[in-house]
Every structure is written in structure tokens, then in C-alpha cells.
Chains A and B, each alone.
Chain A
Amino acid sequence: MVFRRFVEIGRVALINYGPQHGKLVVIVDVIDQNRALIDSPDMVRTQINFKRLSLTDITIPELPRTPPKKVLKKAYEDAEVEQKWANSAWGKKLAVRTKRASLTDFDRFKVMVARVKKSSIVRRELGKLRRGKA
């Protein structure tokens, strides 16, 4: 078993528990065995337990230890963390999940209509193939 995701300065992680659940943050320093200092362009620098973090594959390379907020913001944008996250499979899955959770009844109706439409097209083609074979 090889470890691919490391706790390091510049590692982007997702908070998976607590009031800030779902937020992307950057590990900016390690306090001790259980806690890290995390930071994000729109939050105050805080400590968090590693148990509340899910490490991602995204890192900000060459990030100095506990950088000033300006430096962090710039490095965050230069490394295109948000874009990389939105393009990653994990990020896309989470986006779909949040979208589904935020649908109104009308949206769900629209989804149902679209699904029915799509499946009717598919079944029509399938019927043609079946009749063609038979």
C-alpha cells in the first residue's frame, strides 16, 4: 500500500465534519500529531483535527509555512485550486450532490420530464434494433 496523499504545507483538503463541512482549505502548518493549521482565502486561520479533514490530490506547490493572507490568496489563485477541484471527479460528484439536494419540486419535475424523454428516445432506438434483428 503506497500513500499518495500527504499532510504537507500547501495540501488542499476538504473539511468533512462540523460546521464548515464541505469547505476546501489549505494546510498551512502542522500543530502536532492530530491538528493542523488551516487557512482559506475567505476564512480566519484556525486549527482543525485531521479527523475532520479529507486530503485531496491538489497541492499548492512551494507554499511557505504559515504565509501571510495575501501570499496565500495569490498562491491559491495561481495554483487554480477551485478550477482543479471543479474539474476533478470528486469535485464533480460533490457538485452533483449539492445540486440534487437544492432542487425544488418544480426542478425535480423538470428532471423527471427530461429523464422520461431521454429514456423514450433510447427505448425507441432499442425497439428499432430489436425489430430489425427479428
Chain B
Amino acid sequence: MKLWATNEVRAKSKFWYFLRKLQKVKKAHGQLLAINEIFEKYPTTIKNYGIWVRYQSRTGYHNMYKEYRDLTLNGAVEQMYDEMASRHRVRFPCIQIIKTATIPVSLCKRVNTKQFHNSKIKFPLTTRKIRPPSRSLKTTYKASRPNTFV
């Protein structure tokens, strides 16, 4: 079973949560054989991830399909959790990941991911926030107003 958790303890707990929904077995009656972290095979290539999610909202359960562009599956899942929290106010316990997949470019559905499928992509950075190169160099007062044009 593939699942996402911040540490091993939580991963084992989530494992039993899902297993109870699939089989009539509880942690007390079962034995966990192995827990392995899966590392990204190609963390330097950009992939389009599709994530199928089942989540509980205030009024019921819903399914969703979301697409993310990221280097790693963990990164995409993290993006998904952040987005669900911000857009739908759904927190981690109420989200179940049904399925994840890397989607080939031709099958991507969302315009937001498809807009980056351009080998001659080119756009300006319209505003520039000037900040000191480290937090220790931060000052409360500046001598002049910042210019945020590029």
C-alpha cells in the first residue's frame, strides 16, 4: 500500500486505517511486515502528476481529480494537501488519496498545467521584491522607497 505521512509512526497508523477499510483486520490482530520509504527515481525531471482524491467536506464526501507539475511525487502530494487546505479548508485527516499517476502531456486535463507544456516558454517576472540575501541582514528602515519594477 502506498501512502503519505510525515513520519514512520504516522505511516503505520495510516496503514492500519486503510487496511481496516479493506479487510477485517485491526492492528491488534495483524502484523506489519515491512515499511519502506519510496524515493523518487528521477528527481531532476519535471512530471505532471494526476492525483485522485476522496475528501470529506462539511456536507459530505466528494471525489476530485487534481493535476500538479512537480519534480517528485512527494512534492506533488504536498502541493495537493496545501491546495486542499487553502481552497476547500480540508485538512489532512479528511483526505484520502485514491490514486496517483504521472500523466503524459497529451492526457493532461487542467489548463493550469497545460499552459507550461511549451518548449519555447517565455514570460517576464512582472514585479520584483528586493530583499536582503539573508534574514540576518534585514533592517526595519530603508533609506529609499523600493522600486518593484523587475
Contacts and interface: CB of A to CB of B under 8 A. Distances in A.
Chains A and B form a bound pair: yes
Interface of A: 1, 3-9, 16-18, 21-22, 29-32, 37, 44-47, 50-51, 53-55, 64-66
Interface residues on B, range: 20 to 34
Nearest to A39: B44
Given A6-B124, A37-B44, A50-B125, A30 B116 contact: yes
Contact of A51 (B46, B123, B129): B129
A79 to B, nearest CB: 17
B44 A45 contact: yes
A47 B69 contact: no
B133 interface: yes
B46 A5 contact: no
Interface string B91-123: 000000000000000000000010010011111
Contact of B69 (A16, A31, A46, A54): A31
Contacts of A1: 149
Interface of B: 44-46, 68-71, 113, 116, 119-126, 128-129, 131, 133-134, 149-150
Nearest to B128: A54
A21 B134 contact: yes
Nearest to B135: A17
B45 A47 contact: no
Nearest to B129: A51
A7 B45 contact: no
30 contacts: A1-B149, A5-B124, A6-B124, A7-B121, A7-B123, A7-B124, A8-B120, A8-B121, A8-B123, A9-B120, A16-B133, A17-B131, A17-B133, A17-B134, A21-B134, A22-B133, A31-B46, A31-B69, A31-B70, A31-B116, A32-B69, A37-B71, A44-B44, A46-B44, A47-B71, A50-B125, A51-B129, A55-B125, A64-B119, A66-B46
